[in-house]
Structure 1
Amino acid sequence: MNLSAGRRADAAGILLGAALDAIFGDPRRWHPVAGFGQFAGALERRLYADDRRAGARFAAVAVGAPVAAAVAGAWLTRRHPVARTALMAAATWSALGGASLAREGRVMAGRLAANDLPGARDQLPNLCGRDPAALDAPELARATVESLAENTSDAVVAPLFWAAVAGVPGIVGYRAINTLDAMVGHRSDRYRRFGTASARLDDAANLAPSRLTAALTVAAAPLVGGRPSEALRIWLRDGSRHPSPNSGQCEAAAAGALGIRLGGRNVYGSRVEERPHLGDGGPPAPADVRRAATLSLAVGTAAAVLAAGARLLIARRRRKR
């Protein structure tokens, strides 16, 4: 199997993996990301020190090990199209979280629509790390829409982007980086310095995917009753107001597509953040949460098709050379 055939197998694997995620959601047992989390946790216990150099060493080993394994897997399957397709499908399915994300969003929409505030508060930790105890229905809806917008990039578009760019090593490397950011990239006393490298890696890895997510959100706005022109206007105006260089792009585009306003006061345990407002509409209602879940699925589907197409385009250009 030549290089072009390998990329065609990758394209088929991307579509197959995305289909598996759409049908089954996250693997329920033996999830590779959970296994990686255990590996990274054990590595942290060995390498932890309260400084940035130790954090950089930790990130290099924690990302480098699975990427090396993925490179070896890609090399071993280079002459076997079916095996190569299966490897990419397995990596894609393991890395994506689009179906589960939308499902959790719809559960929240249902509980809010039924005025089940305790149930909605119990549901929020499945979507984000915000403290739900004091949140009312509009704030729970806002937290959910913001999480759906951000995680459409982190859990769907970004893995597909890196699969298109670098095949199996790309998607495995991205998922490792993103998982490390969730584990040690947050601002706490323990990780303020140790987690810096992981957080910066995640920012860099999501720079292009977050903007692709925003662009696809603009294009998909009519599917949820929005206008692309308005989604584009809000994205360009508000996308850089957010403290994150990437999350704001996705959240602003979603606010414009849904015709709502996001941002405000966020409580994470003992830490409180005041976020700038994104969008010109009112606060999201339960129906907007359901629309946000639909928007997330539409963006993810488009990203899968684009990723497979990009992999095929790379193969054709290689063949012409």
Structure 2
Amino acid sequence: MSKEVTRKIIHIDMDAFYASVEQRDNPDLRGKPLAVGGSDGRGVIAAASYEARKFGVRSAMPSLVALRKCPTLLFVKPTFEKYQAVSKEINEIFSRYTSIIEPLSLDEAFLDVTYSKYELQSATLIAQQIKNDIRNELDLIASAGVSYNKFLAKIASDQDKPDGLFVITPDEGAAFMEELPIEDFFGVGKVTAEKMKANNIFKGADLLPYSKWELQQLFGKTGGFLFDIARGIDHREVQSERVRKSVGAERTFSKDVIGEIDINEKFSHVFDTWWTRYEKHGIRGRSVTLKLRNYEFETITRSITEPEFVTDKEDIRQKLDQILHESIVEGVPLRLIGVSISGFELEEEEKEVQQLTIW
């Protein structure tokens, strides 16, 4: 990427967000291993404090497993309305520095500060000031990654947690990517990572001998992205108004569901909820995914991509019924069923932003 188009991207990631908010609001919880989530036999950890992470407690972990790892673990039930309110306060801090903000979730966002509102000319100093504002005004800790593209900014924010500030300059990007393990590539899932390892690709440098065409043959559309990012190249813009990538509905059951009749009944409720949301969304998609999770927390996803946009409720229901029937293992209970759709009509356009500031 030439110097003329180098951008200044910050990725802010709140440290142990839900747990930190709870510890902030209840001093008795500070300094103690804390999990946000249900503590009963079917509970799942939504967030864990850093004190709990020292014991190996992680988000998405079943509560019973977490308790075995940390018998002194404390639990609080999540209050998402509170987290949403705090997230809004954090975004108000972001808006002091730039209007180009792309939230990824309640606790993280990309900021393009190439044309920052603030008097500071350094993205690194702006990131530090944002961290200071969050600490001083909200009594919370954030980590920040600073770089010339979204991928590297996201990776950077995870390098020095908690309370980190890590910078990858344009001169450092390619060399940094050469040493990055493929498991740490943002957006590369477990299946793709295993396929990469099967082809003796273990870190960024191992991708460099491959042509873009060869990587596309191995990994499909992801191959082109891998070719670029292995060289530290990512042209994606920070989208201040993100296009929604999927519309879905899923339900985790209080009791395991077993037997085709009961499963079909539960699926009908999930399907109807999803279809209502899809119609309300107003933009048609083509790729529909069925998601199932069994009592051992194994997740199965099955997708179909239609040649035309999905508009016929009964037709897609019949196709999903067939996939569901083929995916059910007799005698294996389910704890979650979900349906989602992606591949929408509108595609985000990639643009380039010219750099005006210095590091």
Task: With the length of structure 2 as denominator, give the TM-score of the two structures.
Answer: 0.25
With normalisation by structure 1, the TM-score equals 0.27
Higher helix share: 1
Greater relative contact order structure (CA < 8 Å, 6+ sep) = 1
